[in-house]
């Protein structure tokens, strides 16, 4: 009897251990700075995943990071389970271009989220009315490896500009850029961001500043660099009905993982969002106009993860 009881008790402990570990599994999602749109987007995704935790036994945890490039590198290295990145940067990481010295063919897309716009904002008293007016001014180029730094570098390369042609160069974090404009420490900065953006709203509201359009030549220079950049107009009415729309370029923010993440986990995470989609759309103004179909475009920066593909086939989003 004693031996039988011990065996039964051991079996019970094994089952309990497996159950507890499954229920306590934490998946991490890399986002961006707390003032940007990646951070609340990751928070919304994880909140919905955690609401359905009793169905899949996992807890989703958001981590603030420097953004796209950091997320891509940390997912590749196994330090993050999921990440959000610009489609252009995801494409570069998958193919081994730009900031990425070798391709990572394990990267996989889950879905596109919202368009991010290349958004240049300048002080109204700086004399900057178009992109070419930036030369000779005090500009913020962003931190090394950031999306804004890489985007500006691409524009500079396209037009043969050098950093030495500017009176001052600053490498500010996103959270400090609006303050730097307001305090007259810089004349202009560039964001790659979804709208409406708290940082842009702050700069336009609190500083004497304005949004700058890109010329058709500048738009062409950027879209020729990467197949995931698109010409698009930014509706300045996000911030004020008195502002005119500006011409610029956009790139889709994309949720991604790697093939190291199991099909079942990805399936559960994607399902949790799409089955609570109306709630997701109410979580931020940038989500209001999203439709399920546009979040699973035919052209993705990296192949679709099998777990996401399985769910989309089940609900008919893809054939």
- Domains along the sequence of the chain with CATH: 18-114+253-315 (3.40.190.10), 117-252 (3.40.190.10)
pLDDT in tens, 7-43: 444 444 443 333 334 456 899 999 988 878 899 999 9
Instruction: State the Cα–Cα distance between residues 171 and 305, nearest whole angstrom.
Output: 35
Look at residue 73 in the predicted model and tell me its pLDDT. Answer: 95
More confident residue, 298 or 261: 261
Cβ contacts of 7 within 8 Å, gap of 6 or more: none
- When pLDDT is averaged across residues 73-79 and rounded to a whole number, the result is 96
Q: Which segments within the chain are labelled E, that is strand?
A: 25-30, 58-63, 82-86, 107-123, 138-140, 168-170, 188-193, 209-212, 230-234, 246-258
Listing DSSP states for 107-138 in one string gives EEEEEEEEEEEEEEEEEGGGT--SGGGGTTSE
Cβ contacts of 213 within 8 Å, gap of 6 or more: 130, 131, 246, 247, 248
Q: Report in angstroms the alpha-carbon separations of 61 from 33, 80, 214, 256, 299.
A: 15, 10, 38, 15, 29
Least confident of 241-245, 264-268, 294-298: 241-245
Asked whether 119 and 194 are in contact (CB, 8 A), the reply is: no
- When pLDDT is averaged across residues 127-143 and rounded to a whole number, the result is 92
Instruction: With a cut of 80, say whether residue 83 has pLDDT above it.
Output: yes
Look at residue 11 in the predicted model and tell me its pLDDT. Answer: 45
- Compute the mean pLDDT over every residue in the chain, rounded to the nearest whole number: 88
pTM of the model: 0.84
Q: How confident is the model at residue 58 (pLDDT cuts 50, 70, 90)?
A: very high
Look at residue 151 in the predicted model and tell me its pLDDT. Answer: 82
Instruction: With a cut of 70, say whether residue 1 has pLDDT above it.
Output: no
| Angle, helix 263-274 to helix 306-315, in steps of 10 degrees | 40
Instruction: State the Cα–Cα distance between residues 78 and 63, nearest whole angstrom.
Output: 14
Cβ contacts of 54 within 8 Å, gap of 6 or more: none
Classify residue 95 as left (phi > 0), alpha (psi -120 to 50) or beta: alpha
Look at residue 24 in the predicted model and tell me its pLDDT. Answer: 63
Cβ contacts of 256 within 8 Å, gap of 6 or more: 72, 75, 82, 83, 84, 85, 90, 107, 108, 109, 110, 302, 305
Q: Which long-range CB contacts under 8 A does 272-275 form with residues at least 24 apart? A: 272/48, 272/49, 272/51, 272/52, 272/55, 272/56, 273/45, 273/48, 273/49, 274/311, 274/315, 275/52
Q: Report in angstroms the alpha-carbon separations of 99 from 73, 78, 167, 302.
A: 10, 18, 26, 16
Look at residue 221 in the predicted model and tell me its pLDDT. Answer: 85
Strand partners, 254: 85, 112
Look at residue 8 in the predicted model and tell me its pLDDT. Answer: 44
- When pLDDT is averaged across residues 212-220 and rounded to a whole number, the result is 91
More confident residue, 174 or 60: 60
pLDDT in tens, 267-299: 999 999 999 999 999 999 889 989 999 999 988
| SS3 of residue 240 by DSSP | coil
Q: How confident is the model at residue 148 (pLDDT cuts 50, 70, 90)?
A: confident
Instruction: With a cut of 90, say whether residue 207 has pLDDT above it.
Output: no
Instruction: With a cut of 70, say whether residue 3 has pLDDT above it.
Output: no
């Amino acid at each position: 009897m004693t031996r039988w009881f011990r065996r039964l008790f051991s079996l019970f402990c094994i089952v309990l251990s497996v159950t507890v570990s499954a229920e306590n599994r934490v998946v991490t999602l890399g986002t961006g700075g707390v003032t940007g749109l990646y951070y609340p987007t990751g928070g919304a995704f994880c909140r919905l995943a955690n609401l359905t935790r009793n169905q899949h036994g996992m807890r989703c945890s958001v981590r603030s990071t420097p953004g796209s490039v950091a997320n891509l590198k940390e997912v590749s290295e196994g330090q993050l389970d999921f990440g959000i990145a610009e489609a252009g940067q995801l494409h570069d990481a998958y193919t081994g271009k730009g900031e990425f010295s070798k391709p990572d063919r394990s990267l996989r897309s889950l879905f596109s989220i919202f368009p991010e716009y290349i958004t240049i904002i300048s002080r109204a008293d700086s004399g900057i009315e178009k992109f070419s007016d930036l030369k000779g001014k005090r500009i913020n180029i962003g931190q090394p490896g950031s999306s804004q730094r890489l985007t500006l570098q691409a524009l500079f390369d396209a037009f043969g500009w050098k950093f030495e042609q500017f009176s001052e160069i600053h490498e500010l974090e996103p959270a400090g850029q609006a303050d730097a404009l307001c305090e007259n420490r810089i004349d202009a900065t560039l964001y790659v961001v979804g709208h409406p953006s708290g940082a842009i709203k702050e700069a336009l509201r609190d500083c004497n500043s304005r949004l700058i359009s890109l010329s058709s030549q500048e738009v062409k220079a950027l879209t020729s660099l990467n197949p995931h950049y698109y010409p698009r107009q930014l509706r300045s009415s996000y911030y004020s009905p008195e502002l005119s729309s500006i011409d610029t370029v956009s790139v889709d923010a994309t949720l991604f993982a790697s093939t190291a993440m199991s099909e079942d986990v990805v399936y559960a995470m994607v399902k949790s969002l799409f089955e609570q989609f109306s709630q997701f759309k109410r979580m931020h103004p940038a989500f209001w106009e999203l439709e399920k179909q546009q979040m699973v475009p035919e052209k993705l920066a990296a192949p679709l993860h099998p777990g996401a593909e399985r769910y989309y086939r089940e609900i008919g989003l893809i054939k």
